[in-house]
Amino acid sequence: MEPSPQKENSVISWPAGVAPLEQLVNAADGSVVSRVLLKRKTGNVTLFAFDVNQELSEHTAPFDALVQVVQGEAEITIGGSAAVVKAGEVILLPAGRPHAVRALTAMKMLLTMIRE
C-alpha cells in the first residue's frame, strides 16, 4: 500500500515510501498550480501543473534550477533562446539568466532549485 501524502506547513511530506508524482498536483482551467514537495535551506523541489498556453513570465533566479517535464510539452526560453522540452526531458536554468516557461500542451514539470 502506498503512503498518502500529508500536508505540513504547506509542504507535502511522506513517511518513507512512494508517492504518485503525476497525481500530486492537477492543472486548473486557465491557470498554473504549484505544490512544494520539499523545502530545505539548500534548495526546493516544486511540482507545477500548467493548463495549455499558461506561462511563467520571464524572470531571473539567483540559483541554478533544473526543470524536468513530467507530462506534456513546454517552450522554455533562456536568455532569449527557446527550446521545446517534452515529457521525460530536462533543461538547466542557469542562475542569473532570464528565463520563461509556456505550456504548449497541458503539462506538468518538476522544478529543483539548488541554493549555494
- Output the domain CATH number for residue 90: 2.60.120.10
> Domain tally for the chain?
1
Q: What is the pLDDT of residue 50?
A: 96
Least confident of 12-21, 36-45, 47-56: 12-21
Distance between CA atoms of 24 and 20, rounded to whole angstroms? 7
Average pLDDT, the chain: 87
Residue 19 inside a domain? The answer is: no
Residue 37 lies in a domain: yes
Could you tell me what percentage of the chain is helix, strand and coil, using 3-state DSSP and rounding each to the nearest 5? 5, 55, 40
Assess if residue 48 is contained within a domain.
yes
pLDDT tier at 44 (50, 70, 90 boundaries)?
very high
**Cβ(32)–Cβ(56) below 8 Å:** yes
Task: Report percent pLDDT > 90 for the chain.
Answer: 71
- Measured distance CA(54)–CA(74) in Å, rounded: 10
Higher pLDDT, 67 or 17: 67
For residue 108, give its domain range.
32-114
- Does residue 7 surpass a pLDDT of 60? no
CA proximity to 67, closest of 27, 30, 97, 29: 97
**pTM of the prediction?**
0.83
> Rounded to whole angstroms, how far apart are CA atoms 89 and 113?
17
Identify the residue with better confidence: 1 or 15.
15
